[in-house]
Chain A
Amino acid sequence: KNEVEQSPQNLTAQEGEFITINCSYSVGISALHWLQQHPGGGIVSLFMLSSGKKKHGRLIATINIQEKHSSLHITASHPRDSAVYICAVKSRIQFYFGTGTSLTVIP
């Protein structure tokens, strides 16, 4: 069973488009992370959320605890945003990871 579901699995966008990636989870959580994994494999933590909304540059992350749902938005997308975006939730101490959304932004 998947404790974390992401959609879409793959996403192709034109440069400049507004992008939304969704994450739903089924476990009780203390925090939710959005991670970015580059083609070389390295992982970068973008956001850690426990409620509400956070913004960093062109990235916005929101979470609705009641609905067990989070979204990651990218405004004015750029080819350098091309990566796999992973939603991970923390339940007590253990993390559960989504399978990732592969984003390709075309110039």
Chain B
Amino acid sequence: EPEVTQTPSHQVTQMGQEVILRCVPISNHLYFYWYRQILGQKVEFLVSFYNNEISEKSEIFDDQFSVERPDGSNFTLKIRSTKLEDSAMYFCASSVSLLDYGYTFGSGTRLTVV
């Protein structure tokens, strides 16, 4: 069964450093999403991406964050200058359509900012 692949599974970074979280969505999917889950809290929507541009973003997704689909297969989330409160599990997801057929989550990247 097709999977959404996220790398790395765990990343530790120093406060103030830039991090890039990588995702490979399912190949025929057109809509891409990033979510985060701070330990012990609920999952939160960050951003959706379609046709090489951001479709919608939440209040969390400020200027420190950016997304990119650099090569037609990878979908990346960049955090420019990490803060302690950015420590969370970050999930990538993709779907065939806005009607969510084939909606699939990746297994997540645990980001720890020290």
Q: A and B: partners? A: yes
User: Interface SS of chain B: helix, strand, loop or mixed?
Assistant: strand
CB atoms of B91 and A43 under 8 A apart: yes
For residue A93, give the distance in angstroms from its CB to the closest CB of chain B: 4
Contact with B along A58-78 (1 / 0, CB 8 A): 000000000000000000000
Contact with B along A69-95 (1 / 0, CB 8 A): 000000000000000001010101111
Given A30-B99, A93-B98, does the pair A45, B58 have CB atoms closer than 8 Å?
no
CB atoms of B99 and A43 under 8 A apart: no
Q: How many A-B residue pairs have CB under 8 A?
A: 54
Given A41-B110, A45-B104, does the pair A99, B48 have CB atoms closer than 8 Å?
no
For residue A98, give the distance in angstroms from its CB to the closest CB of chain B: 7
With a cutoff of 8 Å between Cβ atoms, the chain B residues found around residue A50 in the complex are 99
In the assembled complex, the Cα of A68 lies from the Cα of B89 at a distance in Å of 29
Interface size class of B (residues with CB under 8 A): 20 to 34
In the assembled complex, the Cα of A45 lies from the Cα of B17 at a distance in Å of 33
- Determine which of B33, B43, B99, B107 lies in contact with A31 in the assembled complex, contact meaning CB atoms within 8 Å: B99
With a cutoff of 8 Å between Cβ atoms, the chain B residues found around residue A88 in the complex are 43
